[in-house]
Chains A and B, each alone.
Chain A
Amino acid sequence: MKLPTFTYYRARISTVRLSRNRLGFAGRPERKIIIRTSIGPVATAKLAINDEGAILAAANGRGFAGPVVWCCTPEGEERVVYSDGRTGAGRPISLAFQGSTARALVGGGANLSILERDPQGTVHREDFRAAAAPPYVIGRTRMASIISPGSATVPTDTISARNSPVLLPARLFPGPGPSGRITNLWMDGDTVIAQVRRAARWEIYRYTAPKSRRLLLRASQRPRAVAVGGGAVAVAVGRTIWSARGGKRLKKGPRATSVVAALAVDGTRMAWFERRGRGADAALRLRMGRVR
């Protein structure tokens, strides 16, 4: 009798050391977090890291809310920031670190919660109703903690993490206008990247404090992946990867050989996963390159 081999889905989060020139890997990946479920495919994984090497990970799936896991204590123990098995539980939307404090924005519709966990502390939860429609993002610097893009406001968050970010004074940015709709957001340092749907086109904007906005890219198809980090921005449109540093307009860069599944950028370096195959048999190939 042939036994079935596929009884659950999983997301694995591993770390690996970079090589000396920081464009390759040295050593073997070390598995940090593994999330396993039989509910359904783990469709999206979210990650945040801080300067101390702590990891915050979430893995949502179609039809269920994934957990948010912080990793790790010196003994290698992880801490669960959020996990709710109830039907209709809020999903992790965005993750960030504020220093060593892990923060997760969790919810659905207008009901949102910001969860905070100090590495050694308990989880603090603050529930609120959002004034605007999603998407939302939770910042990782002191510049902002949450954005409500319907009005393109960025409430500043320079005081204690215990204060509700939504109650703090808002910093207003120019929105995309009536013909545009922000569909996704990313943050890094004092930079906010917004993906805007305008008529049949997709646009990528860069917002910087206090009030500037700049168009980085205009595309005819929805970007597959967007990354921001170390002052650089990278966007995968189809198989082409566009990138630039210092707020300049994005330039065409390397071309992936198959579907870009994930993208990351940090200063002059970028890396992306290319997906080979479909469904349970899909495999990932990691490629690395330089920002132009």
Chain B
Amino acid sequence: MKRSVALIALVLAIIVSAPANAAVVALHDDGITNFTGQRLEQRLDLLAGTNTKVTRVDVLWRRIAPTRPSNPRDPSDPAYDWEQLDDIVRGLSSRGITAMFTFYRTPAWASPSGRENAAPRLADSGRFTRALATRYSGTYAPVGEQPLPEVRRIEVWNEPNLPFFYAPQCRRSGRKIVRTAPRRYSALLRVAYREIHRANADAIVIGGVTGPASSSSSTCSADASTSALDFIAGMAKERPPLDAYAQHIYPIGSPARASFFPSWRTIGRLERALDRLKRGAPIYVTETGYHTSYNRFHRYFVSESQQAAWLDQTYRIAARRPRVEVVVWFNLQDNPFWTGGLLRRDSTRKPSFDRFARLATLNPPPESWTR
């Protein structure tokens, strides 16, 4: 009897334990930047309640630098408002959660069009990334305070292949459409890479961060987007330096069956395309998820039970791809524009909450992520 119990326990242990190359289980909370003070602490507790040990944090450049700093490389320049981001990073660190940054949203003073989705002037973005990486290098202490925790992983921009985040995407040359975004973004990444590594030699600079566009627009209108594959191909011509590539995957259908690009079934195509940019580059899936009700930005939805089941399936499939280092579930909580949360808008838990918490407990990130 004892032996059979031990055998069952062993089998269970094998079933529930993570594969050796399981991707890091991470969670994004896009609402966290809406809170300060005590409400921020409560929000951080809510995030910690999911058992996640890694989270992706939005660094909204436009909010941190509403006016042009006189010395933009210096993180202590008075034009910068780091207070909320400092609180977030310290709060995460005290809860044992590793942060990774994604910075975007161009301030008006760095934007050729004044809009926040405009491709920023390279010198301005380079100087800001330097200030950001310096401040969170692990050695920087604001006046009269303890050193800030290190944030080693920095994504350069968010979904630069979509005009909502990065514009323009293209220009017309006679009858031809020239996709300018990959080249312009490559230059941005090159500058950011140099500045971040100068501030923190251990930093990991994540490029691409491409959104889930499967095909490039056939016209060059203001809402034209560039497919992830076209974007990577465009970057490959420029060969910008990067330490990892990030891709966002929102499958239409189950993770095992959805066959559109980008999806888990087609990740091999992503790997092959990436090899032309940087052979063997690790893949960070920094956004994935399923919406559980319809919203005008995401017209595809699944049931809450499907979301839970497919969350499990997502991490199982990711574990079979050794190059996929992290999978960030997007999002912690529903909002009017995003209904893919683990929590509903009224803060009640969806079935996916417990699944995520269980996975996060069973798959602690490797030491390289928590150092």
Contact = CB atoms under 8 A, between A and B. Distances in A.
**Which label, helix, strand, loop or mixed, suits the secondary structure of the B interface?**
loop
Given A34-B299, A64-B303, A83 B253 contact: no
Contact of B254 (A7, A34, A83): A7
Given A80-B295, A83-B295, A8 B303 contact: no
B339 A85 contact: yes
7 contacts: A4-B259, A7-B253, A7-B257, A39-B302, A39-B303, A79-B296, A80-B295
Interface of A: 3-5, 7-8, 34-39, 64, 66-67, 69, 77-80, 83-87
Contacts of A5: 259
Nearest to B252: A8
- In this complex, the member of A3, A8, A66 whose beta carbon has the largest number of chain B beta carbons within 10 angstroms is A8
Contacts of B254: 7, 38
B140 interface: no
A37 B265 contact: no
B305 interface: yes
B257 A4 contact: yes
A80 B296 contact: yes
Which 6 pairs, one residue from A and one from B, show the smallest C-beta to C-beta distance? Answer: A7-B253, A85-B292, A67-B294, A85-B293, A83-B293, A36-B300
Interface in B234-271: 251-254, 257-259, 265
Contact of A8 (B253, B292, B344): B253
SS class of chain A's interface: helix, strand, loop or mixed? loop
A78 B296 contact: yes
A38 B253 CA distance: 6
Interface in B265-314: 265, 291-296, 299-306
B336 to A, nearest CB: 8
B257 A36 contact: no
B302 A3 contact: no
B303 A85 contact: yes
Nearest to B340: A85
A64 B301 CA distance: 11
Given A7-B257, A67-B294, A86 B299 contact: no
Given A35-B294, A83-B295, A7 B258 contact: yes
B222 to A, nearest CB: 11
A4 B291 CA distance: 22
Nearest to B251: A7
Contact of B305 (A66, A78, A87): A87
Contacts, number: 66
Nearest to B300: A36
Given A83-B293, A85-B292, A85-B293, A37 B257 contact: no
A7 B252 contact: yes
Contacts of B291: 85
A37 B259 contact: no
Contacts of A35: 294, 299
Contacts of A38: 252-254, 300, 302, 306
Contacts of A79: 296
Contacts of B258: 7
A83 B339 contact: yes
A8 B301 CA distance: 9
B302 A80 contact: no
A34 B301 CA distance: 12
Contact of A87 (B253, B265, B302, B304): B304
A97 B3 CA distance: 70
A197 B299 CA distance: 38
B253 to A, nearest CB: 3
Nearest to B260: A7
B292 to A, nearest CB: 3
Contacts of B253: 7-8, 38
A3 B253 CA distance: 13
A3 B265 contact: yes
A56 B109 CA distance: 42
B296 A36 contact: no
A81 to B, nearest CB: 10
A78 B294 CA distance: 12
Contacts of A83: 293-295, 301, 339
Contacts of A80: 294-296
A44 to B, nearest CB: 16
A95 to B, nearest CB: 15
A36 B292 CA distance: 11
Contacts of B306: 38-39
A80 B295 CA distance: 6
Contacts of A64: 303
Contact of B252 (A36, A77, A84): A36
B299 A36 contact: yes
Contacts of A39: 301-303, 306
A181 B295 CA distance: 38
B134 to A, nearest CB: 41
Nearest to B265: A3
Contacts of B259: 3-5, 7
Contacts of B293: 67, 83-85
Contacts of A78: 296
Contacts of A84: 293
A3 B266 CA distance: 10
A37 B295 contact: no
Contact of B300 (A4, A8, A77): A8
A69 B302 contact: no
B300 A37 contact: yes
